[in-house]
Structure 1
Amino acid sequence: MQALIWDVDGTLAETERDGHRLAFNEAFQALGLPWRWDERRYGELLAVTGGRERLLHDMATRPDAPADPDARRALAARLHALKNERYAAIVAAGGIPLRPGVAELLDEARRAGLPMAIATTTSRSNVEALLGAHLGPGWAAGFAAVVCAEDAPRKKPDPQAYLQALAGLGCAPAEALALEDAWPVRGARRPRKRRAPRRLTPPRCRSPRPRRSRRAPRASTARSGRRAAAARCRCG
């Protein structure tokens, strides 16, 4: 392994349930819409990648959503922009901590000189809000590439974001480990993905167990071998 590629939402932090969902509901309320996404509904909507796409998917099921496609897209864009503002406020207020072990793994990788990149389909403003709050204003210097929704418009599981991150790292897919909470990207030989990040620690050495001595063959087995040898001699 020569590099790490990080997803953001759900991997670096539990941003979906405690961040984006709440921000969407605040955006609905701000525009006077009677829509609310509870945890169950939002869990279903997570099957759709991308916040704006998620809004459009949900609106297709609502009789009180605009019927005109252009008006629906305009409303989705307005809601999404407002949601991003509310999300940044939630992060700034300390409402979204990093997942346990993430800060330690980031620091461990930096000290080991392991190059890292970010590959996400969330907006750059959301990434800047989260990592700026937890890693400081110079957070981007710790990553060889930061690929966001604006850079890779084809949403996951399309591998576009990962391929751009690999290009920024200058390594092949087999040389990078991707930490991701979503389904694997499409395409052969893409970076391996794990559901949750774990610290990179060397395996513990174990003393080799003493080898058991082979037991002598049972008498019946030895006799059978002698009879077979005698038979071969008679045939010769």
Structure 2
Amino acid sequence: MMNRVAALIFDVDGTLAETEEAHRYAFNRAFSESGLSWTWNQAIYRQLLKVSGGKERILAFAPDASPELVAGLHSRKNQIYTKMVASGQVSFRPGIESLISSARAQGLKLAIATTATRANVEALLGARKAFFHTIACAEDVRRKKPDPEVYALVLKRLDLAPDKCLVLEDSPNGLIAATALGLKVIVTPSLYTRGLDFSGACAVLPDLGGVTLARLIDLKG
């Protein structure tokens, strides 16, 4: 059974952990510290999440913002977010730790395909970073999801065909990016993506709590 899958590829925000509320808080605090009256409530942030990338979301909200302002806000937001992660305010979603352990025990490669920044990813992973064969982040690609560039890069680094990999995602943009290359995807919707269209996924599960690696591979087909 396991020879049907040689690697698991994980998205990060919303997939490994419910990070988006922490990101939203960090954005709002960065805005306030900069003297801006901007506030992203959940409804606004839900719409902005249709755009991949923090800087891109700021520009979607404020198209006239200068590059310097956008860069400064994004940098400060990331500082706030990484401190929140370091203080234990963000934890892995149900089933993630168990799945990683099972995959390692079975000899599967683990990979990250995200357009989050490397600093944010490494803050969340901590010592678990060593478990991953490759980690592809925003700094590694020019185009963000739903463009498949980050998944193409991960496949190249893994030296595996798409049919030997299984992707874990939480968003339509991630699903579109992965399936564009023929990758099979299991979706676990997060706080901000529940109820969205995940047509094309092998399965849509509330989370991975109690879901075994063997079950995920069966769902891949």
- Shorter-chain TM-score tier: 0.7 to 0.9
* Residue in structure 2 matching 1:33, options 23, 33, 36: 36
Q: Are 1:10 and 2:2 counterparts?
A: no
Q: Give the Å deviation of 1:169.
A: 1.1
Q: Give the Å deviation of 1:2.
A: 1.4
SS of structure 1 residue aligned to 2:139 = coil
Q: Give the Å deviation of 1:152.
A: 1.3
Equivalence for 2:219: none
Q: Give the Å deviation of 1:30.
A: 0.9
TM-score normalised by the chain length of structure 1: 0.76
- Name the amino acid aligned to 2:176: V
Equivalence for 1:93: 87
Equivalence for 1:221: none
- Name the amino acid aligned to 1:190: G
Identity across the alignment (%): 46
* Residue in structure 1 matching 2:139, options 103, 125, 150: 150
- Contact between 2:30 and 2:73, CA under 8 Å: does it hold in 1? yes
Q: Give the Å deviation of 1:122.
A: 0.3
Equivalence for 1:212: none
Instruction: From the superposition, tell whether residues 25 and 165 of structure 1 become closer, same or farther in structure 2 (CA, over 3 Å).
Output: same
Q: Give the Å deviation of 1:49.
A: 0.6
When the two chains are superposed, the root-mean-square deviation of aligned CA atoms in Å is 1.5
Structure with the greater alpha carbon radius of gyration: 1
**Number of residue-to-residue matches in the alignment:** 188
Equivalence for 1:43: 46
Structure 1: tracts of 5 or more residues without a match: 67-71, 204-236
SS of structure 2 residue aligned to 1:35 = coil
The aligned runs of 1:114-125 (5 Å cut-off) are 114-125=108-119
- Name the amino acid aligned to 1:145: T
Structure 2: tracts of 5 or more residues without a match: 189-206, 216-221
* 1:44-78 Cα deviation digits (max 9, x unpaired): 10001100000001003xxxx64xxxxx2211110
- Contact between 1:116 and 1:169, CA under 8 Å: does it hold in 2? no
Distance, in Å, in 2 between the alignment partners of 1:188 and 1:20 is: 28
Q: Give the Å deviation of 1:189.
A: 4.1
Equivalence for 1:141: 130
- Contact between 1:148 and 1:161, CA under 8 Å: does it hold in 2? yes
- Name the amino acid aligned to 2:186: R
- Contact between 2:53 and 2:115, CA under 8 Å: does it hold in 1? yes
Distance, in Å, in 2 between the alignment partners of 1:142 and 1:11 is: 17
SS of structure 2 residue aligned to 1:14 = coil
Q: Give the Å deviation of 1:201.
A: 4.3
The aligned runs of 1:152-167 (5 Å cut-off) are 152-167=141-156
Distance, in Å, in 1 between the alignment partners of 2:82 and 2:103 is: 27
Distance, in Å, in 1 between the alignment partners of 2:83 and 2:49 is: 22
SS of structure 2 residue aligned to 1:94 = coil
